[in-house]
Structure 1
Amino acid sequence: MYSRFASILTALTAAALFGATTPIAKALLGPMPPFMVAGLFYLGSGIGLGAVLLGRSFWRVQSKGIGGRELAWLAGAIAFGGIAGPALLMLGLASTPAATSSLLLNLEGVLTAAIAWIVFRENVDMPVFLGMAAIVAGGVVLAWEPSAANAGGMSSGALLIALACLCWAIDNNLTRKIATADAMVIACAKGLVAGATNLGIALAMGAPLPAPRIALAAMTTGFGGYGVSLVLFVIALRHLGTARTGAYFSVAPVFGVALSLAIWPQAPGAAFWIAAALMMLGVWLHVRERHEHEHTHERLEHTHRHVHDAHHRHDHAFPWSVDEPHTHAHVHLPITHTHAHFPDVHHRHSHKRG
């Protein structure tokens, strides 16, 4: 249903929306306690997506909800990515220079890929590994400021930020386990829980609520940069796998810097062009990947939105109007064939080495 380049474009759009959040926040919000910013961003995400879901239910748009064992994966993703991750980041930022924080945040992509490759056995080819390395190197170049990075007060704050990245990496891999579910429901649940948690922490620490127009600006920014971005990220996970989606998402900082230069015009320095070149190289290495071999699909039963392609040749136990795409529980019978593919929801098979 989703083409190769549509999947890549989805991941890059998610990165662009997320990357744009920082300069927009700087332009609109001014000084505000970090937990308050995070709370309003996440709440805007959850409430905005909730409104869209209500609109969809009114128009009776068919989608797959979350139930059974998927709820446990979602709960874990929310706990790590929506609660622990933001809290650790905000605590770490209090004692860590900005440039150092930006450098450390590149760990999320590295840890996401490492967990996907080592724990969940997602396939990695050499071009994908090199592409990931180039993208991470670009992020390091973009954020590197020797004077700030060598400033004091790094140890405890840096550790907290690194732990936050680990939480988000775990979140990304857990979310992949439920990527066939409705991406909007997943993102809405994460936004509401994370928003309420961070806002509660901010209020408990004595932070005042901002003026209504500032709160609305923050929530609107969060809806696009956190909500819509996360929906697209989950869709990309479904079609590309965790490591590849994480790699594309790691280019978010270059989008943020580009927007900053548009808002506050100035000639970009050499670091920006070097970082952009490295990230473009990384994306190019990923785009040119062609993973093709004979593989066997074991019997699989699940529910997701699909069309009747080579992987969906099943009968229907209900009257079907031949409309596609559609959503229902279906069974994949064992099949062996050869074609180019990603480690998507239908290609989570092992690979023989040697």
Structure 2
Amino acid sequence: MNKSVLYALGAAALFGASTPLAKVLGLNVSPVLLAGLLYLGSGLGLTVTRLIRDRGWQPVGLTLSEWPWLIGAIAFGGVLGPVSLMFGLTLTSATTASLLLNLEAVLTALLAWMVFKENADRRIVAGMIAIVAGGVLLGWPQTSAQIHGWVGPVAVVIACFCWAIDNNLTRKVSASDALFIAGIKGLVAGVVNCAIGIALGMHLPELSLLGPTLLVGFLGYGVSLVLFVLALRGLGTARTGAYFSTAPFLGAAISILLLGEAVTWVFWVAAGLMGVGVWIHLTESHSHEHQHDPQTHDHPHIHDAHHQHEHAFEWDGTEPHSHLHDHAPIKHSHPHFPDIHHRHQH
């Protein structure tokens, strides 16, 4: 299995686990403040991790042309998205919101295909439909609760659209340091959501729960987002979004194991649909002759067909290794994903 697929599924598993883990902690705080604390735990944890890894603050390595993409991703994903969702949740039932949140994967894929011209064939579309259908079924209300008004649902849809833009913009910088990208997004989203919660009169949990909550955020939002960025690097936006859409199922599975929740027929049907969708994506094979244009970037790599370059420094032969390197034009044919080296037109 491609390691980028494992990154995407790992991101989904960690994110899906955050909700049942929050239940285990017995947190009695609003969704707004809970989201803020989880994001904040993500940002703080990843920032500390990066400082330890680099033995201090080091330049992030983003080029001048990449900063606008990152700033845009932070604005849409860390500010506008959370604010829209929190506003929508005040006017929408939880079941309706959970159904509408499945639109994030669909909108992400549509933007990737229609605006950013990422490749998609019928297998990928079919797999996406199966996975999203499983998510919709899993979140479908089991009672006759009705939607009250349209403002709340529209706000949730706007939040999904903001995160879809965020996902596609993050793809533009996914070759850069995943710890920095995920960390800065977590810090901004955490500050925004916590500020909203406190402004609305909400109170922080007691100190005995604050630390574990931040830890859950570090794992479920922080490490998850790092894996998501790594998956974007290797799979492209639409495919990563599809795999990540399995998070509700994985969260439900963890709830069954940890909390002993009942297993219903809905769970098994949703599991089947998502399993079919993942299988369709895993068995995809996309190959044709394609042209690589010249480019310069910095990311971990091995000296494969795409990395035949000399070094301006003494190299000990260790792979993978990371440094700024140039890609010469090349034309060849082999199976590939729309990764950081295969963002070509078809």
TM-score class, shorter-chain normalisation, is over 0.9
Residue aligning to 1:145: 141
Q: Distance in 1 between matches of 2:60 and 2:292?
A: 23
Q: Distance in 2 between matches of 1:208 and 1:59?
A: 34
1:77 aligns with 2:73: yes
Q: Distance in 1 between matches of 2:321 and 2:27?
A: 45
Q: Deviations over 1:76-129 (max 9, x none)?
A: 111111111111111111221121111101000000000000000000011111
TM norm structure 2: 0.96
1:317 aligns with 2:312: yes
- Corresponding letter in the other structure for 2:66: E
Q: Distance in 1 between matches of 2:56 and 2:5?
A: 29
Alignment of 1:167-316 (within 5 A): 167-316=162-311
Q: Once structures 1 and 2 are overlaid, which stretch shifts more, 112-121 or 256-265?
A: 256-265
Q: Are 1:65 and 1:185, in contact at CA under 8 Å, matched by a contact in 2? A: no
- Corresponding letter in the other structure for 1:68: L
Gaps of 5+ in 1: none
- Which of the residues 97, 116, 119 maps onto 2:115? 119
- Which of the residues 18, 27, 52 maps onto 1:55? 52
Give the secondary-structure state (helix, strand or coil) at the position aligned to 1:324: coil
1:28 aligns with 2:30: no
Give the secondary-structure state (helix, strand or coil) at the position aligned to 2:221: helix
- Shift of the alpha carbon at 1:218? 1.4
- Corresponding letter in the other structure for 2:318: D
- Shift of the alpha carbon at 1:296? 1.0
Q: Are 2:29 and 2:204, in contact at CA under 8 Å, matched by a contact in 1? A: no
Q: Are 1:83 and 1:194, in contact at CA under 8 Å, matched by a contact in 2? A: yes
- Which of the residues 37, 41, 47 maps onto 1:40? 37
Give the secondary-structure state (helix, strand or coil) at the position aligned to 2:2: helix
Aligned residues: 346
Q: Deviations over 1:61-88 (max 9, x none)?
A: x996334122211111111111111111
Q: Are 1:64 and 1:304, in contact at CA under 8 Å, matched by a contact in 2? A: no
- Corresponding letter in the other structure for 2:286: H
1:101 aligns with 2:92: no
| Cα RMSD after superposing both structures | 1.6
State the identity %.
55
- Shift of the alpha carbon at 1:286? 0.1
Q: Distance in 1 between matches of 2:63 and 2:97?
A: 37
- Corresponding letter in the other structure for 1:243: A
Q: Distance in 2 between matches of 1:240 and 1:207?
A: 40
Give the secondary-structure state (helix, strand or coil) at the position aligned to 1:147: coil
Pair 1:233–1:63, CA change in 2 (3 A): farther
1:14 aligns with 2:22: no
- Shift of the alpha carbon at 1:288? 0.2
Q: Distance in 2 between matches of 1:27 and 1:85?
A: 27
Q: Deviations over 1:42-64 (max 9, x none)?
A: 1100111111111111299x996
Q: Distance in 1 between matches of 2:182 and 2:118?
A: 23
Q: Distance in 2 between matches of 1:220 and 1:68?
A: 33
Residue aligning to 2:62: 66
Gaps of 5+ in 2: none
Q: Deviations over 1:2-24 (max 9, x none)?
A: xx521111100100000111111
TM norm structure 1: 0.94
Q: Are 2:111 and 2:165, in contact at CA under 8 Å, matched by a contact in 1? A: yes
- Shift of the alpha carbon at 1:300? 1.4
- Corresponding letter in the other structure for 1:214: L
Pair 1:312–1:20, CA change in 2 (3 A): same
- Shift of the alpha carbon at 1:327? 1.4
- Corresponding letter in the other structure for 1:239: G
Q: Distance in 1 between matches of 2:149 and 2:305?
A: 53
Q: Distance in 1 between matches of 2:56 and 2:30?
A: 39
Q: Deviations over 1:307-344 (max 9, x none)?
A: 11110001112222222222111111111111000000
